[in-house]
Amino acid sequence: MSVTERPLQTPCEWCGRAVAQPPTGRLLRYCDRSCRQRAYEARTAKRRLQDDVDTGRVRAQPAERIVERVVRAKYPSTAAGWEKALDELRAQLADGRIGPWNAPRIDRAIAAVDEQLQAIETAAVPRPRPSRETFAVDQPPAAAAVPFAGERLAVIEARIAAAGGTLSTTLEHLAGDVGIGVDELRQAMLEFERLGFLAARRRGTVVPVDELAVHSRFELCSI
């Protein structure tokens, strides 16, 4: 008597799922063509990689990574910003951070700026200066009676004078004194700053009005 055994089911050699075996013929190793192809790729991948390395199609050591970094200087965009930058230049010249051998180069640059400023002043059409009404220091005008720019400037100057020449305030508080919104106050102060009437400072350093936060305290003074 002869006894033979034939498996009825085996696991797929790639994915492990059950493979039903036929009653006769070669045993199936994979459940479908996809698993057969993936198993073939896995078997031959190492050999193909080594062949590519040997023929130079693939580098054994990757190329060096090269990065170019470009740093662009950020220049001020307002008169107050340039005033702050020039004040910093003065400080660096005074304490020696910029050596005296750089003085001729800086002098030429400043001379060119001065020449351009003179050309602008010569060609510029004089702008009308907002009226400055005079109010008693101890009796500043009511906020409701300040609808125009000149009168707003007068109210702010009255507050500055009442504070002894330097007013410590915030945009929110000053807007309440003048009787207008914070955004409207900021626009008015930007115009006054541009015309050279007022300057905002923080710890002695000029700060552009458009950089002031609503609740940030600053010192306001007339120029």
Average pLDDT, the chain: 81
Average pLDDT over residues 18-45: 91
Query: Residue 142 pLDDT > 70, yes or no?
Result: no
Q: Which residue has the higher pLDDT, 101 or 122?
A: 101
Residue 176's pLDDT is 84
**What is this structure's pTM?**
0.34
Distance CA 152, CA 219 (A): 18
User: What's the Rg (C-alpha) of the chain?
Assistant: 40
Check whether 97 has a pLDDT greater than 70: yes
Is residue 10 pLDDT above 90, yes or no?
Answer: yes
For residue 204, the surrounding DSSP H or E stretch is none
Both structure tokens of 15: 């994915």
Q: Is the pLDDT of residue 143 over 60?
A: no
For 147-159, what is each residue's pLDDT tens digit? Answer: 456 777 788 888 8
CATH 3.40.50.620 fits 143-222, yes or no: no
Burial of 96 (0-12, 13-18, 19+ CB in 10 A): exposed
Percentage with pLDDT > 70 across the chain: 87
Asked whether the predicted pLDDT for residue 30 surpasses 90, the reply is yes
What average pLDDT does this structure show over 164-190? 86
What's the pLDDT score for residue 126? 52
Which pLDDT value is given to residue 207? 85
Beta-bridge mates of residue 18: 11
For residues 89-108, give the mean pLDDT. 89
38-42 average pLDDT score: 90
pLDDT higher than threshold 90 for residue 17: yes
